[in-house]
């Protein structure tokens, strides 16, 4: 066996090298176009930009990432306040304990904002009382297309020019299932759902339901909160209007309950169908822990597995200290915006973003107003920074041309960057 070990290692190494060669043979950066909705993902369908914006959304309030079950974290952090529960993902899966905790959270007067393509049946059984058509909840419906047009129904939020969204994969339009809530669930009964937003076909994609002192908001299009949709002002405007329904309090971002749509749909169907409304699906582990003999066997197995891992790790490798990662959230945010604009080859927007950073630098370092980039401004900046006046005038000239142009070339963007780089390297 020892004689074969070098050949096994060599074969595995060669296979890994081959995989990397195949994956990166096209050259350039690779981006994942999967809808993961992860708060740290800078890919097109991650939510890093939204997460960054929400960190300071309400002054003196916190954005808390829920890494554990709702009932383990939210009840300890709220006390009849006006806080917000936020979920954005393909599918939301909650067990009985988490559903009860979320219902109690909203009943106290808080907000639950759920943007998901599928919703737990057991949660909807508490919100939908069959008052309209005497049907049980059957999840969201959907229509297929590469594009959907959304808008709000409230006159104070509705925009004259609606919001157009396209589903892209590798920058190419693809067919997509745009979920909506069937009209059968809206009626004139006092406890019915209320319509908040709809698509161009008149199908409701945004609804609310009062519960106790608080409110549930159900949004069926989580795609609008992803990075690629927040690159322009239109996408930011829609998200700002949608999130205007939140209370000015702490925001609890649920990352624990997120799952893939197909997995969440199967789980929710097992919990919601096949019997009366009161029946819920329990996990196999819960059944094991309810039986004394099986529970002891489970705990013994975990203990033996832990002992094995401890002794195996001790024999094979010394303990490697974990060093905290250096982080600079400002640079990360700038890098995120830059990479996302680079995906679309939008050289003009990237150049305008760089100019915003440049003017911010000038305001902070030299305390000069940057509203009007006149000759007086250039002269004062040249005097304070000890940079030749011609360099500053060139930067302003580039910026003026870029701002008035619809499209610029990659070479123009590079030349603009080099001029600003001269300033940064030699300014006093």
At 401, give phi and psi (nearest 5°). -65, -40
* pLDDT tens column, 230-263: 988 999 999 999 999 999 999 999 988 887 554 4
Q: What single DSSP character describes residue 191?
A: T
Q: Are 88 and 225 in contact (CB under 8 A)?
A: yes
At 185, give phi and psi (nearest 5°). -90, 10
What token pair was written down for 96?
């009985």
Cα–Cα distance measured from residue 89 to residue 7, given in angstroms and rounded to the nearest whole number: 45
Q: Is the dihedral of CA 283, 286, 291, 293 positive or negative?
A: positive
Q: What is the pLDDT of residue 273?
A: 44
Strand runs (DSSP E) across 174-271, as ranges?
Answer: 176-180, 194-199, 204-211, 214-219, 251-254, 258-259
Helix axes 375-385, 389-404, angle to 10 degrees: 140
Which residues 6+ apart lie within 8 Å of 84 measured at CB?
Answer: 110, 111, 112, 113, 246, 247, 249, 250, 251, 252
Q: What is the pLDDT of residue 292?
A: 65
DSSP 296-321: HHHHHHHHHHHHHHHHHHHHH-PPPP
Length of the chain in terms of residues written: 428
Q: What is the pLDDT of residue 28?
A: 46
Which residues are 206's β-sheet partners? 197, 219
Chain-centre distance of CA 168, in angstroms? 17
Longest pairwise C-alpha distance within the chain: 84
What token pair was written down for 309?
């891992």
Q: Would you tell me how many other CB atoms lie within 10 Å of the CB of residue 345?
A: 10
Q: Would you tell me how many other CB atoms lie within 10 Å of the CB of residue 12?
A: 10
Which residues are 86's β-sheet partners? 113, 253
Strands 147-152 and 168-169: unpaired
Q: What is the pLDDT of residue 126?
A: 84
3-state secondary structure of 29: coil
**Angle made by CA atoms 305, 310, 313, in degrees to the nearest 5:** 120
Strands 251-254 and 84-89: parallel
Q: Kindly give the parts of the chain with pLDDT less than 50.
A: 1-2, 22, 24-28, 262-264, 270-282
Q: What single DSSP character describes residue 168?
A: E
Helix axes 410-426, 389-404, angle to 10 degrees: 150
Chain-centre distance of CA 260, in angstroms? 14
């Amino acid at each position: 066996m020892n004689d074969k070990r070098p050949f096994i290692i060599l074969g595995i190494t060669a296979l890994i090298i081959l995989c990397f060669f195949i994956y990166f043979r096209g050259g350039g950066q690779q981006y994942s176009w999967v809808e993961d909705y992860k708060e740290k993902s800078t890919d097109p369908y991650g939510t890093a930009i939204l997460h960054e914006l929400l960190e300071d959304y309400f002054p003196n309030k916190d954005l808390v990432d829920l890494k554990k079950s709702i009932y383990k974290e939210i009840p300890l952090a709220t006390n009849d306040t006006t806080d917000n529960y936020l979920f954005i993902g393909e599918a939301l899966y909650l067990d009985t304990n988490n559903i009860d905790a979320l219902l109690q959270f909203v009943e106290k007067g808080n907000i639950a904002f759920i943007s998901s393509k599928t919703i737990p049946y057991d949660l909807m059984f508490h919100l939908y009382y069959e008052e309209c058509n005497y049907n049980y909840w059957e999840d969201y419906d959907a229509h297929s297309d590469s594009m959907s047009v959304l808008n709000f129904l409230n006159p104070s939020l509705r925009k004259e020019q609606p919001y157009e969204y396209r589903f892209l994969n590798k920058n190419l339009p693809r067919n997509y299932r745009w979920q909506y809530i069937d009209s059968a669930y809206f009626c004139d009964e006092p406890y019915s759902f209320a319509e908040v937003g709809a698509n161009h076909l008149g199908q409701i994609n945004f609804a609310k339901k009062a519960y106790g002192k608080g409110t549930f908001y159900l949004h069926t299009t989580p795609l609008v909160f992803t990075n690629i949709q927040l690159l322009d002002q239109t996408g930011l405007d829609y998200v700002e209007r949608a999130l205007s329904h939140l209370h000015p309090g702490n925001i609890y971002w649920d990352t624990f309950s997120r799952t893939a749509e197909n997995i969440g749909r199967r789980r929710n169907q097992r919990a919601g169908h096949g019997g009366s409304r009161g029946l819920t699906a329990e996990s196999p582990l819960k059944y094991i822990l309810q039986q004394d003999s099986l529970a002891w066997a489970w705990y013994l197995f975990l203990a033996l597995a832990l002992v094995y891992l401890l002794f195996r790790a001790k024999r094979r490798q010394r303990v490697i200290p974990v060093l905290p990662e250096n982080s600079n959230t400002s640079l990360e945010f700038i890098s995120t915006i830059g990479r996302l604009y680079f995906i679309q080859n939008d050289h003009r927007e990237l150049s305008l973003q760089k100019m915003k950073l440049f003017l911010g630098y000038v305001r902070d370092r030299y305390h000069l107003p940057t509203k009007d980039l006149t000759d007086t401004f250039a002269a004062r900046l040249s005097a304070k920074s000890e940079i030749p006046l011609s360099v500053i005038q060139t930067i302003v000239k580039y910026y003026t041309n870029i701002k008035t142009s619809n499209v610029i070339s990659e070479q123009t963007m590079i030349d603009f960057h080099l001029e600003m780089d001269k300033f940064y390297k030699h300014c006093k």
